[in-house]
Amino acid sequence: MQVPAPFEYQRATSVDHALELLARLGPEARLLAGGHSLLPMMKLRLAAPEYLIDLDGLASELGYVREHPTTSGPPAIRSGSPPARTSGSPCDELRIGAMTRHRELLESELLATRLTIFRDAEQVIADPVVRNRGTIGGALCQADPAEDLSAVCAAVDARMVIRGPEGERVVDMRDFYRGPYETAVGDGEMLVEIRVPLLDASGSAYEKVNRRVGDWAVAAAAASVSLTRGTIERAGIALTAVGAAVKSTDAEEALSGRPPSDELFAQAGALAAAACSPASDQRGSAEYKRHVVGVLTRRALRRATARALLEVERCT
């Protein structure tokens, strides 16, 4: 029978209360969101915190998906002439509370309309039991190399809001993700929000191969594309479970400023595959995974571009 080591339990009632508990209990305290990663590690004695701070009571404070106008641009334009608009300047951003559960992401009509990549990913994450309890904040902070939402957030240029005793700081995914199971969240801090720019004439998609429904990825690719006058103004590509950097920079740069085509997507897929370093294991050989990366990147770019073109048509 697998039993965790002894620990003391605390239940936070607000973000400020959680930060107070972290400051008082010290580095041996761990935050508990959904618990689907931390608790199994505790049962295997791979993690043995002296204190658990339960964040379930923060679901009403940090469980949301909503649009937020930015100060860097005008309100989002939903009609008018496409040539007068540029996709590179966000009119709004979408904000997701760190305690938003996978099920809520899956069911969000706002995400389905504006950032479809989240629904793509949530449809292939685990099973209903996990999706009913697991949270986006817990998944991102676990930083498992095979976790899906880290690649999704990287592809759409999401920024992480981290709160601590000194206030809030905002970091992008390159700074947030520091390696397997390691993030920029320091002692006494917690992730409170994810912010994603909303760009006109843009689309996104997530493609994943796994051995069975709900399993960890053999490989996966996340892609986002923004169009201006028939060319790709910006592209985001991120991979899962294949030893890749936070973003596939070479592949992104190959797409910028060029009209979308299957040949271009194949070139980007080849660059993404060449830049990753998958390991051979029971899920497949490194060569097989690298091949899958190329195929999935091409598929994700094709779907993201098709969605961007539909957005252009909808706004004309």
Q: Is the domain covering 61-198 a CATH 3.30.465.10 domain?
A: yes
CATH dotted code for 202-314: 3.30.390.50
Cα distance between residue 236 and residue 157, in whole Å: 7
Tell me the fold of 8-58: 3.30.43
What residue type is assigned to position 188 of the chain?
Answer: G
pLDDT in tens, 228-248: 999 999 999 999 999 999 999
- C-beta of residue 34 within 8 angstroms of C-beta of residue 23: no
> In this structure, what token pair is assigned to residue 57?
């009571």
Supply the pTM of this predicted model.
Answer: 0.91
Note the helical H segments in the chain: 15-25, 38-43, 59-62, 102-107, 109-114, 116-122, 128-133, 136-142, 148-155, 173-176, 249-255, 262-275, 286-314
Residue 201: CB partners within 8 Å, gap ≥ 6?
82, 85, 87, 226, 227, 228, 308, 311, 312, 315
C-beta atoms surrounding 158 within 10 Å:
23
Indicate whether 275 pLDDT > 80.
yes
Return the domain boundaries, the chain.
Answer: 8-58, 61-198, 202-314
- Rg, the chain, Cα only: 20
b/e for 196-219, b at 16 or more Cβ within 10 A?
bbbbbbbbbbbbbbbeeeeebbbb
- Band of the pLDDT at 211, cuts 50, 70, 90? confident
Q: What is the pLDDT of residue 130?
A: 87
What residue type is assigned to position 79 of the chain?
Answer: S
Angle between helices 262-275 and 286-314 (to 10 degrees): 140
Burial level of 86, CB count in 10 A (0-12/13-18/19+)? middle
pLDDT in tens, 67-117: 998 765 443 333 333 333 344 445 589 999 999 999 999 999 999 999 999
Percent share of the chain, pLDDT over 90: 83
Q: Which helix (H) or strand (E) holds 75?
A: none
Indicate whether 199 pLDDT > 80.
yes
C-beta atoms surrounding 261 within 10 Å:
11
Residue 152 Cα to chain centre, angstroms: 4
C-beta atoms surrounding 55 within 10 Å:
25
Residue 256: CB partners within 8 Å, gap ≥ 6?
232, 233, 234, 235
**Listed residue (131, 127, 147) closest to 139, CA to CA:** 147
Count the helix, strand and coil residues of the chain and give each as a percent rounded to the nearest 5. 40, 25, 35
Q: What is the pLDDT of residue 1?
A: 63
